Structure 1
Amino acid sequence: MTTFKSRLRGDLTAAIKERDELRSATLRMVLTAITTEEVSGKSARELSDDEVRKVLAREAKKRREAAEAFDKGGRADRADRERAEGEVLAEYLPRQLTDEELASVVDEAVAEARAQGVEGPRAMGAVMKIVNPKVAGVAEGGRVAAAVKKALAG
């Protein structure tokens, strides 16, 4: 059985052989982030596939945020590079929920919270507790929170 991390290493080797600079640089950066995560803490350990995916998702989010910052700073060349790295990372992550799919999950959670007698703006925490496990890894926290606020306001 191959681990997710070994798949990344294999893809890095292939990218280097193919002289794919963008892919090899991006995969090197992710593998470094994984190694850093493995040696942080009291003792070194091997990350599980789920933990590796979390590191990947965090790195992809960093790329998106950096691209936005470079756009605002008028550095389109750097923004394009960050987006391209993000696209490489996206290939390894689960497909993100569309806004409609996310709204549907949130609406169900709001109904569930109301059934438990929790309503209005105070329901935010209760609804988030219901939604988060259902969308873990397929919807970013900020998007989820915005969708929940919108559903509770409506």
Structure 2
Amino acid sequence: MTTLERLTSDLTTSMKARDTFTTGTLRQIIGAVRTAEKSGSVARDFSDDEVQKVLASEVKKRRESAQIFADAGADDRAANETAEADLIETYLPATLSPEQVDALVADAIASTGATGPKDMGTVMKAVNAAAAGLGRVDGKVLSQVVRAALVG
């Protein structure tokens, strides 16, 4: 079952259970996927990886919104955004642990022969390719780990 099929199935289940929070959140993310599919010059069906990228983007948006609401003192709205992000994350593969990221970076540096910060792009590309089947990696965290490994 693809991620989009699972989302649609879970939406039906939540509607039957009259779970308004889950129903609303799933409708939003299915809508975001459909909108992304229609963007560009030609509408097309997304692969599962592309759907996962849209979901990751939606999680990131909600986490950023939650932080903004929390900073503004709107704790109830921040909690709602966080709960939505948590729900969406259940449809994404697990995030790699810091130890796994460190190991991937070390392997990529060894395999590419990187020697300094000028090789950062090559190492990032190798790590992202290696991590593709293992789980999610936050790009910002990955960039920091690669930079630290190449400089230090």
Normalised to the residue count of structure 2, the TM-score between the two structures is: 0.90
Task: Say which SS state the counterpart of residue 95 (structure 2) adopts.
Answer: coil
CA shift at 1:3, angstroms? 3.5
Report the RMSD for the aligned CA atoms in angstroms.
1.6
Is residue 2:129 matched to residue 1:130? Answer: no
Deviates more, 1:128-137 or 1:88-97: 128-137
Distance 1:109 1:38 in 2: 33
List per-residue Cα deviations over 1:9-38 (Å, max 9, x = no partner): 110111112122221111000011011012
Matching residue's letter, 1:65: E
The equivalent residue for 1:46 is 45
Q: Which digits, 9 at most, give the CA deviation of each residue in 1:119-142, with x for residues without a partner? A: 122121121121111224510211
Structure 1 unaligned spans of 5+: none
- Unaligned stretches of 5+ in structure 2? none
Render the CA deviation track for 1:50-83: whole Å, top value 9, x for unaligned: 2111111111111112122222222221111111
Moved more, 75-84 or 41-50: 41-50
Map of 2:115 onto structure 1? 119
In structure 2, C-alpha distance between the alignment counterparts of 1:123 and 1:3, rounded to whole Å: 36
Number of residue pairs the alignment of both structures matches: 150
Equivalence map 1:1-154=2 (5 Å): 2-114=1-113, 118-136=114-132, 138-154=136-152
SS class of match (2:33): helix
The CA distance in 2 between the partners of 1:44 and 1:126, in whole Å, is 32
Cα deviation per residue 1:95-150 (whole Å; 9 max; x = unaligned)?
00011111111111122233xxx312212112112111122451021111111112
User: 2:81 & 2:10 partners in 1: Cα distance?
Assistant: 19
TM-score of the superposition, structure 1-length normalised? 0.89
Identity of aligned residues (%): 45
SS of 2:70's equivalent?
helix
TM-aligned CA distance change 1:43 to 1:123, over 3 Å: closer
SS in 2 for 1:88: helix
Once residues 110 and 47 of structure 2 are traced to their aligned partners in structure 1, the CA distance between those partners, rounded to angstroms, is: 35
Distance 1:42 1:121 in 2: 37
